Structure 1
Amino acid sequence: MTHSSPPPSRDQGRRGALALVGALFAGSLLVYSGCGDDKPAATQSPVRVQLIAFNDFHGNLEPPSGSNGTIRVPTGTDGGTTNVNAGGASFLAHHINKLREEDPEHTVVVSAGDLIGASPLVSGIFHDEPTIELMNQIGLDINSVGNHEFDDGRDELLRMQNGGCHPVDGCQASATFEGAKFKFLSANVFTNVGQKTTLLPAYDIREFDGVKVGFIGMTLEGTSKIVNPAGIQGLTFQDEADTVNDLVPQLKEQGVEAIVVIIHEGGYPTGLYDECPGISGPIVELAERFDDEVDVVVSGHTHQAYNCIIDNKRVTSAASFGRAITDIDLVLDPVSHDVIEANARNIVVTRDNANNTVDTMVRGYVAKATPLASRVIGNTSMALQAPVRPLPAGQSGEFLLGNVIADAMLAASKDEAKGGAVIALQNPGGVRADINAGEISYGEVFTVQPFANNLTTLTLTGAEIEEVLEQQFPPHQTSGNTLIMQVSEGFSYTWKASGPAGDKIDPATIMLNGVPLDPTASYRVTVNNFMASGGDSYTAFTKGTNVLTGPIDVDAVEAYLRANNPLTPPALGRIKREP
């Protein structure tokens, strides 16, 4: 079990570790040969292992822009802060290599999930093969599977590990695709009801100077609620802490005393990137529930950066998009094989030095993607805003870009031959970025909708439509965290913030073209296939009948923007909120 202290500076951490090691070993661990020789053997030296960790890279090969490309750092001792530009694969590679050079034989590079998925066009348009190839070059060792690794289903995730060309599009980024040279881990994702067979390995054991370190990879338990259910049929996602605790005895039986959990779940701190004040969220309870034999927890999912001690365990996270990395120093007892010190620091991935090899690779991918990304498909007189989270006080949850996308979905499916839809609904989690005023490129639209979901048109009764609208307000969510679906032109309703879960919407306010919805009548509704399968817990969509699959969502938006160029942004007011 780790003996940890508050996050020290780099030099302080190493000096402290050496001082502690000296106190533990000086004159007290003389080992005799047992062969009649009265001379003591040399004292065994402690073993130092370096972990380099990051999380939620999301295929950001190029330096991310806007607020996604900065880290807030202190300006000095006056308490001030400033934003520093950060991230970009070539800069990430440089920072990792500089740390690894200190002791390459005792260094492990790990990712806490969402390495791929919801990626910018440069990676996403090639099914994230560029990200895998680039991480092979950087020297990633382990990736704990996140929820976004399941965006395109289990088979595509396995292709990322094992290689092979895409079954539909072939190999586009390179002539062949060999898959990941690093290991995907997912201890709590099982392929059978008996929960004995995992989809991917549960853990990996590395040995350093005779001392073993176990790495357990953990996927977000709630993954099944936020990815397309069709892609994960037959899989079960189990409680993270229960799974870890069941594995600890197995690791110990193999001589593992130093245990690192790499988990795609996280928390929310109130401080800066290398601090841990006011940490809250699921990672706190999980760290407290993990067996005391767990020494380090590398986390992710929330896109936050923190460096904590929780329940005497070192718990870290390194923001997102390659903007930060965590340098974790472990000092291992060569006799007991346990961790006697675990120090860490979060490092901003500044853009002052780039790795030339990785930079060349990124430029190559950009060159291949540029003709697709740069073509202009429309024009807008004003910026189109994506959803704001959490939902600002008093706002209904409707946003301008959501209206445009819902209208595009309806336009693509309203003809009888294409579905006969009269209503279209878009989940806000599928809208990932703003569109600026002026020319609209395909690359911008792809960034907004990077999941390549198919439009799906189905028949629901008026009562079932009301049911799915109420599912926007599950009992465990506050109104600030509510995810409001965006609705197409002609459809409107009012929700009441103070209303109880399951009764926030007055059916009389649900209108289609000015006429209240008839609970017993049937309506053709277009959503994306993620929603149609019950994603985001909109399970009422699974009651739909006469299901018809349509085009990819991004293609529908492109067609709509071309047909309505220049775009006249639709007015707000389709969704109203009462106190």
Structure 2
Amino acid sequence: MRISRLLGLALLMAALVGCPASRPPKNAPTNLRRLTILAINDFHGHLNPRPLESLETPPRRVLIGGAEALAATVAELRSQNPQRTLLLDAGDFMQGTLVSNHSEGAAVRALFTALRVDATVIGNHEFDFGPVGPAVEVAGHGDSNPNAPAGRRGALMRWTKRAPFPVLTANVLRKADGEPVRWPNVRPTLLLERGGVKIGVIGLTTTDTPTTTLPANVADLRFAKLAPILIREAKALRARGAVVVVALAHVGGSCESRDPASCRGEIFDTVRALPAGLVDAVVAGHSHRCIWHRVNGVLVTEACSKGIAVGRIELALRGGKVDASASRVMPPTLVCQQVFANGRCEARLERGKPTSPLADNPLLARHGKLVEKVRAALRPFRQASKAKAMRRLAKLARPLVHRYRGSSEVGFLFAEMLRQAVPGAEVALMNAGGVRGNLAAGTLTYEQVFSVFPFDNRVAVIEATGDQLRRMLEASLAGEHAGILQVSGVAVKVRCGRPAKLLEIRGARGKPLDLNKIYKVVLSDFMLAGGDGLGPVLAEIPAARKRVLAGRLIRDEMAAYLERRRGKPLNTTEEPVLGPKSLAVRVVGRCGGDGWRTRPRALCR
């Protein structure tokens, strides 16, 4: 499964500093009307705020994100244009935290209802839950009875049916007849009116979905190419009177600078294929990037991820049309639960000795009624998962860092745990997208482990030749945004690039990998099913040499592993598993994709 490409939150905060205030130009013509589009994406169930450590002496942790702060931020932005503001969500909204997963996304639906979300789109991780209930995968059941717990998409369709706002996707088709899916409250497009302006919204879901969710849950679906469908639906909406057309797309990309030519990926390929003036704006997701760019005349926003920012597009309307030259896409607005004395929450900019205490974001009090409404709506969900969330597992002597395209301490920890979990295992693999973030120093709880690995993946075992193992590693590096598999039991050397390249793989004691030997390899059932592009190689392995260990969830195996090691803090310099020389992936060169975030002031030209 694809990880969020979120860098350390420190870099995110730095990337947004020094940029212009997110307000329309003061010299804007007075005969223009404004339409404001607010955007969130890849929320992944992050209902609770998260800490970010400052560079002060001593360092302090400031809370960012969270449902209450998100509600207050949205309310503040909406108040600047109350009659003509849309709030759109670009998908991957419910899979990712204990409090959300425990209710199969019902908690997120309650939040979105309170926020008055106008529409959302189906993301790849919406398919992760599978049927209603604890099972995540059921073979042989389609959608003849969408409400049946055995349906592959039972949990998703229960969520959409109960949502008071539409859920969109125009390019998810049934393989059987090529028709768009017909699920409760799911439609290809939406035509709505705001302040006398007709707005058309088109839902798009990434074509990466079959390899970034459990393949069995989408086996009877086809994810059609985006540009032809977007063009067709946009023309149809224009014919129905839409003055503004917005693509609500769980489709990703990245930009290396403020130069639109630096933007690449599926969403930008799609935007560049559009006729001029057909689509006015894109609310994007999937890649977890902070994007505010104009590409091919289209304004594109992606608001980072996990509810830590809100995207904003200001469309100028004149004479019944969008005035592109007067329209703007703004830098994402940060969502602060707490603030420093300067009113900001960019913790990594705070240095020196603290001079004043942290304070609650004043917006929480300014929009207190909405904040309390959100808190009351989420209270039963938070309470239901509280005991499990607070279960203490171990202590970390220092933070463990996850790098999607690099040597990952968290990824290695999972790989090492998997190898030790299966007697006789020689190698273990952990896909970069299976790990969702860092682990902070201090007491480690079950909730933190859950947030880092929210997927209900099970332990799987294969018997693969050295050559097959090598080609699995190569296949995992082949994609445009591919992460690097973390390994235990072998050592690999990778050169970054587009695509990355496997330079070397060595077995036990530094010897070259025996390409003819059969190795016992541990991995996740997601990878075994062909996730992250491993399908062609795994298809060569006979079924008798592949198995899933029933009832053994990787996340729970990790919790037990940590509890057994509770006697001393993990990750000290003497720690044999997590010491500085233990990591088995060596990366050569710059991995790219996120580097522009380290040059913040260049973004604001």
CA distance in 1, matches of 2:434, 2:22: 40
Rate the CA distance shift 1:526–1:389 in 2: closer, same or farther, 3 A.
closer
Paired residue type of 2:484 = I
Rate the CA distance shift 1:212–1:437 in 2: closer, same or farther, 3 A.
closer
* Secondary structure of the structure 2 residue equivalent to 1:18: coil
1:410 alignment partner in structure 2: 419
CA contact (8 A) 2:201 2:247 kept: yes
Matched, 1:197 2:180: yes
State the Cα distance separating 1:123 from its structure 2 match. 1.9
Unpaired runs of 5+ residues, structure 2, are 1-19, 56-60, 338-360, 365-370, 590-605
1:440 alignment partner in structure 2: 444
Matched, 1:294 2:279: yes
1:543 alignment partner in structure 2: 540
Unpaired runs of 5+ residues, structure 1, are 1-6, 22-45, 71-82, 392-396, 415-419
Matched, 1:16 2:28: yes
* Secondary structure of the structure 1 residue equivalent to 2:301: strand
1:492 alignment partner in structure 2: 490
State the Cα distance separating 1:210 from its structure 2 match. 6.2
State the Cα distance separating 1:553 from its structure 2 match. 0.6
CA distance in 2, matches of 1:333, 1:305: 29
* Secondary structure of the structure 2 residue equivalent to 1:256: coil
Paired residue type of 1:144 = V
1:366 alignment partner in structure 2: 382
1:375 alignment partner in structure 2: 391
1:467 alignment partner in structure 2: 471
CA distance in 1, matches of 2:520, 2:272: 48
Matched, 1:310 2:325: no
2:203 alignment partner in structure 1: 217
CA contact (8 A) 1:55 1:318 kept: yes
Query: How many residues in Structure 1 have an aligned counterpart in Structure 2?
Result: 500
CA distance in 2, matches of 1:228, 1:534: 9
Q: What does the per-residue CA deviation read over 1:184-237, in whole Å, with 9 as the maximum and x for residues that have no partner?
A: 211122122653324642111113466532101111222223222222112222
* Secondary structure of the structure 1 residue equivalent to 2:288: coil
Rate the CA distance shift 1:201–1:383 in 2: closer, same or farther, 3 A.
same
From 335, 338, 352, give the equivalent of 1:349: 335
Rate the CA distance shift 1:270–1:485 in 2: closer, same or farther, 3 A.
closer
Q: What does the per-residue CA deviation read over 1:98-134, in whole Å, with 9 as the maximum and x for residues that have no partner?
A: 44456655433211222222x2323233332211121
Alignment of structure 1 residues 122-133 onto 2, 5 Å: 122-133=99-110
CA distance in 2, matches of 1:487, 1:217: 37
CA contact (8 A) 1:376 1:442 kept: yes
CA distance in 1, matches of 2:500, 2:84: 55
Larger Rg: 1
* Secondary structure of the structure 1 residue equivalent to 2:461: strand
* Secondary structure of the structure 2 residue equivalent to 1:148: helix
CA distance in 2, matches of 1:137, 1:149: 20
TM-score (norm 1): 0.75
Matched, 1:401 2:410: yes
CA contact (8 A) 2:466 2:514 kept: yes
Alignment of structure 1 residues 220-369 onto 2, 5 Å: 220-269=206-255, 280-282=263-265, 283-292=267-276, 293-332=278-317, 337-340=320-323, 342-345=327-330, 346-351=332-337, 352=361, 353-354=363-364, 355-369=371-385
2:554 alignment partner in structure 1: 553
* Secondary structure of the structure 2 residue equivalent to 1:225: helix
State the Cα distance separating 1:409 from its structure 2 match. 1.7
State the Cα distance separating 1:326 from its structure 2 match. 3.3
Rate the CA distance shift 1:569–1:147 in 2: closer, same or farther, 3 A.
farther
CA distance in 1, matches of 2:195, 2:399: 57
CA distance in 2, matches of 1:500, 1:105: 45
Rate the CA distance shift 1:144–1:537 in 2: closer, same or farther, 3 A.
same
CA distance in 1, matches of 2:316, 2:221: 38
CA contact (8 A) 1:400 1:569 kept: no
CA distance in 2, matches of 1:93, 1:533: 39
Alignment of structure 1 residues 481-520 onto 2, 5 Å: 483-488=483-488, 491-495=489-493, 497=495, 504=502, 510-512=506-508, 518-520=514-516
1:73 alignment partner in structure 2: none
CA distance in 1, matches of 2:323, 2:232: 23
Rate the CA distance shift 1:211–1:456 in 2: closer, same or farther, 3 A.
same
State which drifts further: 337-346 or 526-535: 337-346
Paired residue type of 2:244 = A
CA contact (8 A) 1:386 1:431 kept: no
CA distance in 2, matches of 1:315, 1:410: 43
CA distance in 2, matches of 1:197, 1:103: 35
State the Cα distance separating 1:371 from its structure 2 match. 1.0
CA distance in 1, matches of 2:465, 2:303: 46
1:387 alignment partner in structure 2: 402
Rate the CA distance shift 1:433–1:102 in 2: closer, same or farther, 3 A.
closer
1:79 alignment partner in structure 2: none
Identity of aligned residues (%): 27
Matched, 1:180 2:167: no
Matched, 1:523 2:523: no
CA distance in 2, matches of 1:343, 1:498: 35
CA contact (8 A) 2:282 2:301 kept: yes
* Secondary structure of the structure 1 residue equivalent to 2:190: strand
State the Cα distance separating 1:295 from its structure 2 match. 1.4
Rate the CA distance shift 1:311–1:403 in 2: closer, same or farther, 3 A.
closer
Matched, 1:453 2:437: no
Paired residue type of 1:361 = A
* Secondary structure of the structure 1 residue equivalent to 2:410: helix
CA distance in 2, matches of 1:499, 1:91: 38
TM-score (norm 2): 0.72
* Secondary structure of the structure 1 residue equivalent to 2:203: strand
CA contact (8 A) 2:35 2:315 kept: yes
CA contact (8 A) 1:331 1:339 kept: yes
Rate the CA distance shift 1:552–1:517 in 2: closer, same or farther, 3 A.
same
CA contact (8 A) 2:409 2:583 kept: no
2:94 alignment partner in structure 1: 116
* Secondary structure of the structure 2 residue equivalent to 1:149: helix
CA contact (8 A) 2:52 2:64 kept: no
Paired residue type of 1:552 = L
Paired residue type of 1:559 = A
CA distance in 2, matches of 1:96, 1:192: 39
CA distance in 2, matches of 1:439, 1:501: 38
* Secondary structure of the structure 1 residue equivalent to 2:566: coil
State which drifts further: 509-518 or 138-147: 509-518
Rate the CA distance shift 1:85–1:563 in 2: closer, same or farther, 3 A.
closer
Rate the CA distance shift 1:132–1:164 in 2: closer, same or farther, 3 A.
farther
Paired residue type of 1:400 = E
CA distance in 1, matches of 2:401, 2:146: 35
Paired residue type of 1:295 = D
State the Cα distance separating 1:256 from its structure 2 match. 2.8
State which drifts further: 361-370 or 211-220: 361-370
* Secondary structure of the structure 1 residue equivalent to 2:280: strand
Rate the CA distance shift 1:542–1:437 in 2: closer, same or farther, 3 A.
farther
Matched, 1:65 2:51: yes
Q: What does the per-residue CA deviation read over 1:115-154, in whole Å, with 9 as the maximum and x for residues that have no partner?
A: 222x232323333221112111221111122232233359
